[in-house]
Structure 1
Amino acid sequence: MSNIKTITNATRVITKRPFRVSIEGNIGSGKSTCIKYFDKYPNVEKHSEPIEEWRSVSGHNLLGLLYSDMSQWTFAFQHYVHLSRLKIQTSPPSSPNITVKMFERSVHSSRHCFVENSKQQEHLQEAEYEVLAQWFDYTEKNLDVSLDLIVYLRTTPTTVWERMLQRGRAEESEVPLEYLQQVHESYEKWLSSADVGCEVLTIDADRALALVADDLQRYSYKILGGNHTN
């Protein structure tokens, strides 16, 4: 089943820009597949997670380094992830016909899920955590990074762990089930809090892809902005 949760944010700055949709969920929840579903809509600009960019930062594979030693590399990785997501969220649309901008995860999930979890698991020193937190706070106060809708592909950790092993991405080969459980809990905590600031559409992504696609079709009007007037 799917459900919609609405949270208002009176401080959100309204500007003329595309309707922003962030596709959120655990590793292996089907975010990339979800984005591809909207290939048939020419008014939607789609951005998958910039994994190849993270694999080649002036010759450094930050994603590989992160999974090899989270305590050493989380700060550098999250700092760069924030930059890459910020560029995606704030860049102008690729053409005047774009009315919806859709991307895989956001600066918000980086801050409220992954940075918070890294602090909890002690992969960040207190000073490193404060730098990342203040970097996000400054961004949110001085740039329009607001979201209009979050599509949350909700999964159980065991399901996404099995999917992750099946797809065989090299950097993920050593990711334990425990880490996926931590990410799941971080998402659940964030998306049930008042810090979300926008509407959340939750889809049960443990199910077969065809059933998830049915939900995407059912809620396509909402996902594509509905009566959005920005």
Structure 2
Amino acid sequence: MLGTLLLLSIARRGHTTVSSSLKYEIRRQKHSLISDWKPYLIYNPKKMYKSRKSEVPRPYRVSVEGNIGSGKSTFLSYFERFSEVEIYLEPLDRWRDVQGYNVLDLLYSDLTKWNLTFQHMVQLSRVNIQTSTSSKTVQMFERSVQNNRYCFGEMAYKGGLLSDVEYTIFDKWYSWVSDNTDIGLDLIVYLRSNPEKVYQRLLQRSRKEELSVSLEYLQQVHEAHEKWLLHGIPAKAPAPVLVLDANSNLDAMYRQYELNQEVILGTRKKLSN
């Protein structure tokens, strides 16, 4: 949903064309995305965030990241059946009712005027979720506040929807949060997908809010995730990244979840062969 909103914003500003470098990157990665390959973990040895440690033990935190249509909801539904897991979907209801104001409607009414407001609302709601307490031992989030900062926030700025001063304020607010609250993650599950593949999925499921999503936009979202989670641009990932092939069919995805569920649940650090 968040990705769809950003698409509408960029499209109205005329920024949906794909750069030649992005086209090259998509072509370069196409073979590796659709070929058979094993899941793997990327470790970040230097913890980037200086988040204050909780005074009491907190649950093991997992964020599932990926493109629109990559299977994030399916992933969370699979792990919801475990008694030790609490899942958190994207908080759309919070964005639709802020003391009676629908921030989504405001964004639609004036994309440039209300973009910073919307970014702040998304960031605030995700911080509230990621710092929430739970009686469960594992918390799983559909995207993270880090994703909002380093993927969709970057896309909004580069798309001309945030001015330099707005982007600076947005970044300073995030920096304060990361320095003064515990938004830390223990694992990121990256559902890595081919943009062409997820585009076909969107066409098949025909959700109203996704009708305006173009292949070009999905390629931009893919590039943003690749840069952040695989290459550390514009910042290193805040936790180990488990990369799963999300181009597979549902049965194959369930098999990947089963093989790696101990890693995903934090009970084992090494991957299955």
Same fold (TM over 0.5): yes
The 5 A counterparts of 1:181-220 are 181-191=219-229, 192-193=231-232, 195-220=236-261
What is the one-letter code of the residue matched to 1:213? Y
The 5 A counterparts of 1:10-21 are 10=47, 15=54, 16-21=57-62
Which runs of 5 or more residues in structure 1 are unaligned?
none
Where does residue 56 of structure 1 map in the other structure? Answer: 97
What is the one-letter code of the residue matched to 1:147? L
Q: Describe the superposition over 1:5-49 as per-residue Cα deviations: whole angstroms up to 9, x where unpaired.
A: 111234565541000000000111110110000122111111111
1:70 Cα shift?
4.2
Where does residue 173 of structure 2 map in the other structure? Answer: 135
Which runs of 5 or more residues in structure 2 are unaligned?
1-36
Q: Describe the superposition over 1:181-230 as per-residue Cα deviations: whole angstroms up to 9, x where unpaired.
A: 111111100012162121000111011011111111111111101169xx
Give distance in 1, aligned partners of 2:173 and 2:246. 32
Where does residue 264 of structure 2 map in the other structure? Answer: 223
- Secondary structure at the aligned position of 1:103 is classed as strand
Which of residues 153, 156, 175 is equivalent to 2:191? 153
1:61 Cα shift?
4.2
Give distance in 2, aligned partners of 1:31 and 1:7. 23
CA contact (8 A) 2:52 2:180 kept: no
Give distance in 2, aligned partners of 1:72 and 1:175. 22
2:157 is the alignment partner of 1:115: no
CA contact (8 A) 1:67 1:172 kept: no
2:218 is the alignment partner of 1:180: yes
2:112 is the alignment partner of 1:75: no
CA contact (8 A) 2:65 2:143 kept: yes
Give distance in 2, aligned partners of 1:196 and 1:212. 23
Give distance in 2, aligned partners of 1:12 and 1:6. 18
Give distance in 1, aligned partners of 2:218 and 2:165. 25
Identity of aligned residues (%): 46
The count of residues paired between Structure 1 and Structure 2 equals: 225
- Secondary structure at the aligned position of 1:71 is classed as coil
The 5 A counterparts of 1:29-40 are 29-40=70-81
1:79 Cα shift?
1.0
CA contact (8 A) 1:24 1:150 kept: yes
CA contact (8 A) 2:127 2:145 kept: yes
Where does residue 63 of structure 2 map in the other structure? Answer: 22
Distance of aligned partners of 1:172 and 1:57 in 2 relative to their CA distance in 1, 3 Å threshold: farther
